[in-house]
Each structure stands twice: as C-alpha cells, then as structure tokens.
Amino acid sequence: MAYALAAPRGRGRPRAGEEIDLDVLLQAALEAFAETGYNGTSVRDLSRRLGVSHALLTARFGSKEGLWFAAMEHVLAQTEQSWREVADSPSLDDLEALRQGVVRQVIFSAAHPQVLRIMNHEGAIDSPRLRFVIDRFVNPLRPGVERLLARLVTAGRIRPVPYATLHFLAVVGGGALFANPVEAALLGGPAHPDAEDIRAHAEAVADVLIAGIALATAEA
Amino acid sequence: MAYALAAPRGRGRPRAGEEIDLDVLLQAALEAFAETGYNGTSVRDLSRRLGVSHALLTARFGSKEGLWFAAMEHVLAQTEQSWREVADSPSLDDLEALRQGVVRQVIFSAAHPQVLRIMNHEGAIDSPRLRFVIDRFVNPLRPGVERLLARLVTAGRIRPVPYATLHFLAVVGGGALFANPVEAALLGGPAHPDAEDIRAHAEAVADVLIAGIALATAEA
DNA sequence: TACAGAAATAGACACCTGGTAATTAATTCC
DNA sequence: GGAATTAATTACCAGGTGTCTATTTCTGTA
C-alpha cells in the first residue's frame, strides 16, 4: 500500500538521481490491476498511492491502457518461459518432461499470481487486452504441450483424454489458486505460502494429473 | 444483446400484462456482471439494453449492489445443490459418489458459467460480494467433500493428497472453463458446446481426477 | 552562461457514474 | 366515480473518470 515511491516531488523535471523507479511503478500498477480489474482501477488512485501526479502515468504510457500493457509486458519479460526447453528436450523421458512442465508452470503461476488474476478480469472475447495475454502467455505454451501429449498417446503411455490440452492448462491455472491470497484463504490453503509450500503443492498437482492420465499398460 | 424486454414503455405505471419480466431482467444483469465485472458494468448501460429507465433498477433493488445480490441469488436458487445427497448417500460406493459429485458439479458450473466468472472478478478478500458467493456457493460444498475424502483415505482407497479439497474444487472450477465461451475459444474447446459435449467433458475431468488419486492397492 | 529539450506538475475539459427527487399514468379500493 | 397506491418515467445532483493543455523546473550542450 505505502509504495513510498518518492516524497512530494514538486513541479518540473526531477533532480538527477530522483527519477521514478519504473520497476516499482509497474509492479504497483500490476498489483492494482490484479486486485480491482482494469475498470475498477483508476489512474488517479494509483498515482496517489505512488506519490506522483496522475498526469505522469498517462503521459509516460500514452494512456491508461498503455500503462496496462506496459505492466503486463514487464512481468512477462521478467520470466523467460522454460517450458519449451523441457517439452522438446530429447534427453528427458516424455512422461517426466510432462510432469516437470506442470511443476514449472504451477510454480511460475504461483510466483506471479497477478497474471492469471488479471486475465480473470477480462471478459470480452475480442478485447485487445485479452488477446495480448493469450498471445503472450497462453499460446506459446500450447504447441509444446500438444506435441508432448501426442507423442505420449502414440507411444501408448497415457490415455487419449479428450481436450487433454485444455485440461492440462486448466490444472496449471488451478494450481495458481494456491498462491492467490483470496482464493487460498477461501479454499483453506495457507494464507502466505512460502517457497516450500508452493513446491509441494506443484508436485502434488503434477502427481494427480500424471497419475490420472498415465497407463500402467498400454490400452489405447 | 437485444433483450427486447419491452418496447418503449412510457411514463407512469405499466398496463396490466406489461409488467417487467424479472427472470429476463436478472438473467441479463447476471450476464452483464459476468462479462464486464461489477465495476465495469453500469446500471445505465444495462437499463438501456433492457429498454427500461435506469431509475427502475435502483428503485427496485435499492442500489446497484442490491441488483447484484438479486441476480446472484436468482441463479443460485434456480439450481438446488444435489451434491450433499450424493456425498452422504449410504447406498452409493464412496469412490463412485466422489466421481458423480465431480460430474454433477462440472455440469452445474458449465450450465451457469456466469457464477464462476463473476467470482473471478471479485478481488478484495473482505468484499461483501465475495463473502456472499463463498457462503452461498463454495462453503456448502466443503463439508461433504471433506467427509467423503476422509472416509476414502481411512479406507485406504485413495492417496492422501495434500490440500485435496482445494484440488477438488479447483478441478471443478477448471471444468467450467469448458463452458465459458471466452476461455473455451482460447484453449481450443468448442465455441458452443452442447449438452453432450459438456457431459463428455465432465466425465473426462472426473476420470482424470479419480484415476489420479485412486489406489489400486491400499498403501497409505 | 544562455537556451533547447526533457520530465514532471496543476488545472480544466467533457463525459459518465450511482443515487435521489419530482412527475406522470395506470390500478385498486372504498 | 373519486382517492390512495403503485410503478414507471424524466430531470438533476455531486463526485469521479480519462485525457489534454499550459506551466514549471531541472538537465545537457554549444
């Protein structure tokens, strides 16, 4: 809440060394959008909490939506997706790769719960904001998952579950519930899970998913 | 979009037989809240689409939030929860009861995607709106699930997965993704699933979950 | 040291919001 | 048939919104 970006700054250009910390600014914006949604977040309120003027935000990012895009881009750029490496690694057993992929994704989602949270707020299918998240966050995941699942099915190692990719992504999304303070509290998870909690949770989710689709003997 | 509640109605009290259809009104409100969230939905815009004055809505329901509560209550009252019967039915095998419970819940969620959608929009943990959904929608589910899981664990028929109830509820929630036009399209599901699609999906979700936690032989 | 450009602020703009008061028309009751 | 009640409308209010413009202050360079 008290971001304390700066003491009151005064009018003109800031003194050297007193520039605004973009990391802090964008992180605060991300959290605000995640908590109250795009419509529920006002530029003025955010700027007040940051201790800057409201005009700064729209001037720097062009518009409120520009700020939204910048905040999203910022968090997504922080974390380089390692899923594709795992999925196509020839040295890894396919089933183990699937399992590790789930674990990694759940941990990522848990580390950045704002991304899924913000996505939940977007309702209109043709919204450019939703499109951005999909293209940047969901779609890069799909091909790897689908290739891997297809290989496992042809090898007769998992059941050909209908809409398996959708299930997979849903499980990954569901995994993030754990790290979302709101839903964790609701559903009985720990209010402030530490890294170990998150890891244990990710492993459990992966175990259930893998055990659920794996075949002891090939049958399909 | 074109709810066509009524042609322009004119000033005073409506003629007999021209009263407002509450079902249509509340369903439209529910869909609006689901799509754009509480903050993003304006009473005036909704009333315009319904072909009534905006003052009607606040007058009838006290306030915008009153309208929200009425719309939620309306959809939840439509569907009587049958989960508890299933969970505590002595005639049903426990594992089969768990499976049927999942199937029923997924089908319910798919039939009323707005409920979970609206829930997604609520961010503040102490919001009275969020509390309402939890008390009315999530909490009634918990005891049955927990009792059932506990019985199955003591009987040695499923693995004692940590946070199993949370996983269960997450899967149920994830199941609803299928019926949400936004996410279904994103994740590659059918844009307009029919009843059979939904049933097949619900069965598949249940199968994965059950197979994932069931034990062929007791080991815990 | 003078000055062009950069980076912040304050203030005004038109619009939209939820809520309320005044008004009008149909119904119901005596 | 007239009076009271009900249920809708329109008009208005105070406050909040995103955006745009003008202003101020500091930096860097010639």
Domain ranges of chain B: 22-65, 73-219
Is residue A31 pLDDT above 90, yes or no? Answer: yes
B127-138: pLDDT as tens digits:
889 888 878 877
A41-50, A125-134, B2-11, B149-158: which range is least confident on average?
B2-11
Arithmetic mean of pLDDT, A34-41:
92
For residue A37, which of B129, B60, B154, B105 has the smallest C-alpha distance?
Answer: B129
Of residues B146 and A72, which shows the higher confidence score?
A: A72
CATH 3.40.50.1970 fits A73-219, yes or no: no
pLDDT band at A56 (very low <50, low <70, confident <90, very high): very high
Q: Which nucleotide is nearest to A61 (CA to C1')?
A: D19
pLDDT at residue number B2 = 43
B62-76, B155-169, B192-206: which range is least confident on average?
B155-169
Global confidence as pTM: 0.81
pLDDT at residue number B218 = 32
A113-157: pLDDT as tens digits:
788 788 878 866 678 898 888 788 777 777 887 888 889 889 888
**3-state secondary structure string across chain A:** CCCCCCCCCCCCCCCCCCCCCHHHHHHHHHHHHHHHHHHHCCHHHHHHHHCCCHHHHHHHHCCHHHHHHHHHHHHHHHCCCCHHHHHHCCCCCHHHHHHHHHHHHHHHHHHCHHHHHHHHHCCCCCCHHHHHHHHHHHHHHHHHHHHHHHHHHHCCCECCCCCHHHHHHHHHHHHHHCCCHHHHHHHCCCCCCCHHHHHHHHHHHHHHHHHHHECCCCCC
Q: Do domains A22-65 and A73-219 have the same CATH topology?
A: no
- A-contacting residues in B 170-209 (Cβ below 8 Å): 170-171, 173-175, 177-178, 181-182, 184-189, 200-201, 204-205, 207-209
Which bases on strand D have an atom closer than 7 Å to a protein beta carbon?
6-11, 16-28
pLDDT at residue number A217 = 37
A151-192: pLDDT as tens digits:
988 988 887 766 666 555 555 555 555 445 555 555 566 667
B103-134: pLDDT as tens digits:
877 777 777 878 878 887 886 667 889 888 87
B29-53: pLDDT as tens digits:
999 999 899 999 999 999 999 999 9
Burial B173-194 (b: 16+ CB within 10 A, else e): bbbbbbbbebbbebbebeeebe
Protein fold of B22-65: Arc Repressor Mutant, subunit A (1.10.10)
Is residue A81 pLDDT above 60, yes or no? Answer: no
Of A37, A134, A161, the CB nearest to B186: A134
Q: Select the highest-mean-pLDDT range: A29-33, A84-88, A148-152, B5-9.
A: A29-33
Arithmetic mean of pLDDT, B80-106:
72
Of A39, A174, A204, the CB nearest to B162: A204
